Amino acid sequence: MKKTQTETLKKVWNYLKSYRMQIVSSLLLAGVVVATTLYAPILVGQAVDHIADRGKVEFSVVSRILLRLVAVSLITGGCQWIMNLLNNRIVYHVVRDIRKDVFGRLQRLPLRFMDNHPHGDVVSRVISDADQFADGLLLGFTQLFTGVITILGTLLFMLSLNPWITLVVVCLTPLSLLVANYIAKSTFSFFKEQSAIRGVQTACVDELIGNQKVVQAFLQEERALEQFEEINERLEKSSLKAIFFSSLTNPCTRFINSIVYAAVALSGAYAAIQGRISIGDLTCFLSYAKQYTKPFNEISGVVTELQNAIACAGRLFALLEEAEQVPDREDALVLKEVKGEISFEQVSFSYVPEKPLIEAVSLKAGPGEKIAIVGPTGCGKTTLINLLMRFYDVTDGRITADGRDIRDYTRKSLRAGFGMVLQDTWLKEGTVLENISMGNRKATREEVVQAARAAHAHSFIKRLPQGYDTWLSENGGGLSQGQKQLICIARIMLVMPPVLILDEATSSIDTRTELKIQEAFGRLMEGRVSFIVAHRLSTIKDADRILVMKDGNIIEQGNHLQLLEKKGFYYQLYHSD
């Protein structure tokens, strides 16, 4: 655990290094604040000495001391304000940098990571854990540094007044440190567990809200509540343990600090009776005793918060250290013009090493050829498309585009040559116009409207409140599934890609509109190679070649009539469709 904390702190320091000047400035200001704060009791002590004797109050001297005290207070307040401003800037800039790096890493992580990690947990790390880390770091800057400097400064001032009374304070100090250290070690594991369970809870909420219709349709409300309550109870227990142990810090250190204060008062009073110190010095010493013990309470509280912050930072850095997708080769080529010659050569792939999915698949497709891929669920149809788009890289064999391995091209240029419409639609928050022009930001409004007409989306878009300027919420809320799909199809019509990939692209559209879109796709596919993943076999009768997949292998291929004549697996699928 200690090693993990140390490694996390080193990574935090790597981010703090960029703000070294601000940190140094903050420390200098903290030194000024502490020095002026500790100088104030000396002025108060001097004032006391000048009014201690009956009938001998020196008002002129006391007035000068009070003026100095006001000046010292103003300097303290001004420096403290600037120091807090600097600390806030440092903390929020550091958290901004970490969030930026984490989000940038998310863009470069392979899809395998997203498939294996709940989205809610990732969101929890980027939002909640970063906020918790910011709170702990801010407390560290505002109280930890000032507290440490206050302790050291107070000891120096007390030594200058009376070394023996200072020795009493120093001997009792380790008790407070031991208690704070024990509590800090106990709380770290609880805060770490709390952060992990919070991530699970966020993932659960994200999943249930995102699939609310499914939950209600299958009457799973009670089960969903039970699932959430179970996670909530785990979070409650973990949080209570963390809060209980962390709440012990303040009363325990306050008790020890009270003992320190009492010891200073008794030893100081004895020294004053003996005439070794003045009444003013005793007043000053008691003030220092309070100031000396106060940072221990603050630091012990800060240490507890830092345990939470370090635990959250650890989850953020764990995300930053996830392996990125295999980068493009240094000599990778930019695919400028795709002719459309696609070839799979003995391609094998598996999501999990011990469970092979696609084995030794070979096929060729040329410009103007329409390739349909059919087969039962889980046979590898969509996986072929994922490999072609390089969402995943092949385990064995190779895929070529225009005669070269697709791994020789940059991912950006390769994907720019492919147009893809999936069964699952995705719309971002923005206007209808922005969603259609996503793949071609330079497109004019007229070009967007023309693409929407080709996709038969223009009529329903015009009926929206602001037409093409209608604002869509996240994932196109307010639109039907079919309307969302039409917008996604319009997006492809605007791009006019050399290679077209359709994965159940018209599954949510009525039959009449589907026939019109099929005609539009037919015009779009002229001279282009197209891959169509289909479950409804009636939609791919006119395909040039149909690939029939089963258990990751292509078991039959040919056109519709040829495959029916064979009376094989395709024949069975067609008559069961």
11-35 per-position pLDDT tens digit:
888 888 888 898 888 888 888 888 8
Contact indicator for 525, 497 with CB cutoff of 8 Å: no
Which is nearest to 503 in space by CA: 539, 456, 476?
A: 539
pLDDT at res. 212: 77
- Going across the sheet that includes 404-405, the strands are 358-365, 342-349, 396-401, 404-405
Classify residue 456 as left (phi > 0), alpha (psi -120 to 50) or beta: left
pLDDT at res. 398: 92
Q: What is the residue type of 361?
A: V
Cα(306)–Cα(291) distance, rounded to whole angstroms?
22
pTM: 0.66
Contact indicator for 95, 137 with CB cutoff of 8 Å: yes
pLDDT at res. 433: 92
Q: Could you report the per-residue pLDDT of 49-61, keeping only the tens digit for each? A: 777 565 566 777 7
DSSP result, 169-218: HHHHHHHHHHHHHHHHHHHHHHHHHHHHHHHHHHHHHHHHHHTHHHHHHT
pLDDT at res. 252: 76
What token pair was written down for 268?
A: 């100081």
CA distance from start to end of the chain:
58
pLDDT at res. 416: 83
pLDDT at res. 82: 92
What token pair was written down for 291?
A: 């100031």
pLDDT at res. 54: 59
Cα(38)–Cα(157) distance, rounded to whole angstroms?
8
Q: What is the residue type of 286?
A: L
Instruction: Tell me the domains of the chain and their CATH numbers.
Output: 2-320 (1.20.1560.10), 342-576 (3.40.50.300)
The ranges of the chain with pLDDT < 50 are: none
pLDDT at res. 80: 87
What token pair was written down for 504?
A: 């159940």
